[in-house]
Chain A
Amino acid sequence: MHKFANPGQFTKLSTRVLPWTSSFAAVCFLFGLYFGIFDSPADYQQGETVRIMYVHVPAAWMSLLTYSLMAAASASFLIWKHSLADIAARSLAPIGAAFTAITLITGALWGQPMWGTWWVWDARLTSVLVLFFLYLGYMALVNAFDDPEKGSKAAAVLALIGFVNVPIIKFSVDWWNTLHQPASLSRLDAPAIDISMLTPLLFMALAFKLLLISILIIKMRTILIEKRIEAKQLLKSG
C-alpha cells in the first residue's frame, strides 16, 4: 500500500484506472435505471414509489461507506503522515456530504406519500442528519486554518471522533423501535427482497461505488495539481 502513497505513482495509476471506472459507472447507471424504472414490478404496498429506493438505499450505503473511508484515510494520515491520505480524506468529505444530502432528500420524497410526512425525528433519520452535520463540520474545520497542515490534522481527529456515529446509524433501526424499516439485505439469512427488485438495486449500488471512485480520483488529482501550481508559483516569486 505504501508504494502507491507516492503522488507520482498515484497519478500514473489513476490515469489508467479512471477511464475504466467512469465508463463502468455509466454502464451500471444505464442498466440500474433501466431495470429500476422499466423492468421491475411496482411494490404491492408502496406502489410505484418503491423506485425511489433504487437511489435512496445505495446513496445511504455510500454516505456511511464514504465516512468510513474518510475516517480510515484520516487515521492513516495521523499515523503515517502520508500527504496522499490527507488529500483523500479532504476529497471524500464533500462527496460524502453530497451522498448524505441525496439520501435525506430522496428519503423525504419517499416519506411524503408513504408515511404521510416529509420528516420524522426518529433515530435513523436524526442520526443521518447528524452525519450530514459531521461532514459539514469537517469541511468547515479543514479550511479554517491559515496553515493547511494544521487544518488537516485537526479535521483528521474530528473525523475519527465522529466515527462513533457510523455504528449508531447502522444499528439505529435495530436498537430503537423506529418508523424507518430495518435492513432487508444485510441479514444473516437470505435477503428479504425479490430478485426482480434486487437486480436494479445492486446495479445502482455498483454504479454509486464506481462513481465514488471516479470522483475521488478526479478530486485528488485536482488537489495534487493545485499543490504543484502553488509550489511552482512560490519558486518563481522566491
Chain B
Amino acid sequence: MKKFLALVQRDLILVYRSANDAWVVLFFFVIAVTLFPLGIGPDPGVLQQLSGGIIWICALLSAMLSLDGVFQSDFDDGSLDQMILTSYPLELLVLGKCFVHWLTTGFPILLISPVLATMLNMNLDSYSTLLITMLLGTPTISLMGGVGAALVLGSRRSGVLVSLIILPLIIPILIFSVAAINASGEGVEISSAVKLLGALLIISSVFCPWATAATLRHLTN
C-alpha cells in the first residue's frame, strides 16, 4: 500500500510540475462543448435534449486526448522497465497510474460538467444523474484507456491510434450514461442503467489492470 501511494504521489507531482498538460485537456473539453450550441443553434429546447449526449461525447474525446501519455514518459526514460522489474505487482502499479489519469482528467471534467450543463440548459432533475454517471463512467474510461495506452506504446501516431482502438470499446459507457441522463429528465427510473455502469466499473477495475500489465510485459521484454 505504501508503495502504491508512493507511485501515486510521484505521478501526481509529475503532473503538477507540468500542469499545463492537465489544463489543456480540461480546456479542450470546455471548448468542444461550446462548439455544439454554435454548430446546431442556440435553441434551448434542442440543447436541453442533447445536453447529456454532448457533455458525455466531449468527455470521452477529452479523455482520449490524454491517454497516450499515461505510460509514454515512463517508457521514454526507462522507468517503466524498472517498474516491471520490481517485485511489486505491476497490476497495482498500473491501477495507480490509471487512478492518477482519472484524478487529473476525469475528475476535473466531472467537476466542471455541471457548469457546462447549465449553459446547455440541462433539465434540473438530470444534474445528479449526470454527476453519478460521470463518477461511475470516467474511472472506467481511464481503466479501459490504460489497456489502449499500453497497446500503442512505441507505435507511430500513438495518440490517434489509441482513440481508434478504445472508442469502439467504450461505447457502452456512453449509451448507458446518456440513457440514464435522458431518463432522469423525463422522471423515469434510472437504476438499471446506473447499475450497469457500476458493473462495468467493477469488471474493468479487476480485468483492465491485469490486461494492461500483461500487455506491458509482452511489449517491453
Q: A130-B168, A154-B152, A162-B169 in contact; A144/B157 too (CB < 8 A)?
A: yes
Closest to B207 in A: A161
Within 8 A of B (CB), among A135-154: 136-138, 140-141, 144-147, 150-151, 153-154
Interfacial chain A residues near B161, Cβ < 8 Å:
140-141, 144
Q: Check if A150 sits within 8 Å of B219, measured CB to CB.
A: yes
Q: A144-B157, A144-B161, A145-B156 in contact; A158/B168 too (CB < 8 A)?
A: no
Q: Check if B151 sits within 8 Å of A157, measured CB to CB.
A: yes
Q: Check if B168 sits within 8 Å of A137, measured CB to CB.
A: yes
Q: Mark B98-127, 1 if CB is under 8 A from A, else 0.
A: 000000000000000000000000000000
For B, the interface residue count at a CB cutoff of 8 angstroms equals 20
Closest to B157 in A: A144
CA distance A1 to B65 in the complex (A): 43
Contact with B155, one of A126, A138, A144 (Cβ below 8 angstroms): A144
- The answer, yes or no, to whether A134 is at the interface (CB within 8 Å) is yes
- The answer, yes or no, to whether A78 is at the interface (CB within 8 Å) is yes
- The answer, yes or no, to whether B147 is at the interface (CB within 8 Å) is yes
Q: A130-B171, A141-B151, A161-B147 in contact; A153/B165 too (CB < 8 A)?
A: no
Interfacial chain A residues near B167, Cβ < 8 Å:
133
Q: Check if A157 sits within 8 Å of B164, measured CB to CB.
A: no
CA distance A89 to B219 in the complex (A): 18
- The answer, yes or no, to whether B199 is at the interface (CB within 8 Å) is no
Q: Mark B167-185, 1 if CB is under 8 A from A, else 0.
A: 1110100000000000000
- The answer, yes or no, to whether B90 is at the interface (CB within 8 Å) is no
B41 to nearest A CB, angstroms? 23
A-B residue pairs, 5 tightest by C-beta: A144-B155, A137-B165, A133-B168, A154-B151, A130-B168
**Can you list 16 A-B pairs, Cβ within 8 angstroms, ordered by A?**
A130-B171, A133-B167, A133-B168, A134-B168, A136-B164, A141-B151, A144-B152, A144-B155, A144-B158, A146-B156, A154-B152, A154-B155, A157-B151, A157-B211, A157-B214, A157-B215
Q: Give the interface of B toward A (CB within 8 A).
A: 147, 151-152, 154-158, 161, 164-165, 167-169, 171, 211, 214-215, 218-219
